[in-house]
Amino acid sequence: MSRPAKMLIDLDALTHNIAIARKQSPNSRIIAVLKANAYGHGAIEVANAIDPSVDMLAVSSIEEALHLRNAGIEKTVLLLEGCFSGSELVVASNNDFAVVFHNLEQVEALEQQALEQPISCWLKIDTGMHRLGLQGDDITAAFERLQASANSKNDLILMTHLASSDLIAQPFTTQQISSFVQAIAQLGERANGLQTSICNSGAVLGWQDIQCDWIRPGIMIYGVSPFAQEHKIAKDLKPVMCLQSEVIAVRTVPAGDCVGYGNTWQAERDSKVATVAIGYGDGYPRNAKNGTPVLVNGKRCKLAGRVSMDMLSVDVTEIGSVNIGDKVVLWGSGLDVNEVASYADTIGYELVTRMPLRVPKTYLGK
Ligand SMILES: *Cc1c(COP(=O)(O)O)cnc(C)c1O
């Protein structure tokens, strides 16, 4: 027997979700975004499971990329923030990592490094998110210098990132696309035929008109919707992570008594309260409010009182018999992580990504 807090990771759900991305963008190749340990799902296991269904992988750092390579994963890995030093460029070149260039300093480092193999270079253009990417005349300068460098392969790819593709009705995405088109036009004929990459999950699911050669879905492949509102395609995604545990105590709490640290939940009637072996030390958000949904024996119940480090309490007065050992789902199948996140003032992305190591993962499927 071991502590029952665990994550189930459904590898078949991953391929189901990638098939949705493929169907949405049949003419694009897929870069699966596996940064931050595959959004908390386990990068190596995820990479192995999706290997036949995607075209490339993307991460944020050379350490994350090497972690995949050292596990025998052979696909090209794209470094989304580029290299942080000239020596990383050598590692990238030796390991078939594709590299984003988002400022002139990175371009200069490429020019100055001695490399045995040229690198596949991705030029990132800032079209309005104002986080990373070249702007104005620097776009042309970076473009020309990358094209001229012997350290760059001849397959320069132009990319940008969307700030609000999760907001379907907002014109900002359209503005970003026109600014991308303009930036490419500014490069003139030299940019003819170059490939492009634009779409994150929100754009793949919500902005089907945006055409690009390479899509970069992240959160959707883990079965989490990028949208706050219900969405007709996102609702077909299957959650990959299921966070679950078990009831380890059941008690009666008389009307007027309180539960948990700080006495923040008070029983309005004589209540039955179950204690569950999972807490903020297991990645469950401490700021989840009273009333946050929790599934006990598959039935929706409400969080009662503050989340402790290793435990939380649930009001199970209305769901019939509840016993020690009964199954509890905190999010996953039957309970959308985005709904739980909304009770904790955050989004599903954060909850799945920040899962701590102490919660073991069990991989299912494949
Ligand atoms: C994280 C990331 C993505 C994936 O975004 P999702 O919203 O998870 O689909 C795509 N592109 C870049 C540059 C990213 O940093």
Instruction: Please give all residues whose beta carbon lies within 6 A of any atom in ligand 1, as ranges.
Output: 33, 35, 80, 161, 200-202, 216-220, 226
pLDDT over 70, % of the chain: 100
Average pLDDT over residues 167-191: 95
Rounded CA separation 165/115 (Å):
37
pLDDT classification of 97: cutoffs 50, 70, 90: very high
pLDDT classification of 366: cutoffs 50, 70, 90: confident
78 alpha carbon to ligand 1 midpoint, in Å?
Answer: 12
Break the chain into its structural domains and give their ranges: 11-224, 241-364
pLDDT at 38 over 70: yes
Active-site residue flag, 124: no
**What pLDDT score does 1 carry?**
66
pLDDT at 317 over 70: yes
Residue 259 host element (H or E): strand 258-259
200 alpha carbon to ligand 1 midpoint, in Å?
Answer: 5
260: CB partners within 8 A, 6+ apart? 304, 305, 306, 308, 313
What CATH fold (topology level) applies to the domain 241-364? Lyase, Ornithine Decarboxylase; Chain A, domain 1 (2.40.37)
Rounded CA separation 212/222 (Å):
22
pLDDT at 73 over 90: yes
Tokens 């030093």, located at residue: 85
pLDDT classification of 169: cutoffs 50, 70, 90: confident
Active-site residue flag, 39: no
CA–CA distances in Å: residue 345 to residues 234, 238, 294, 333, 340: 21, 23, 16, 21, 9
Q: What is the pLDDT of residues 232-291, one digit of tens each?
A: 999 999 999 999 999 999 999 999 999 999 999 999 999 999 999 999 999 999 999 999
What CATH fold (topology level) applies to the domain 11-224? TIM Barrel (3.20.20)
Residues 361, 43 contacting (CB under 8 angstroms): no
Query: By alpha-carbon position, which residue is closest to atom 4 of ligand 1?
Result: 218
Q: Which of 39, 222, 232, 261 is flagged as catalytic? A: 261
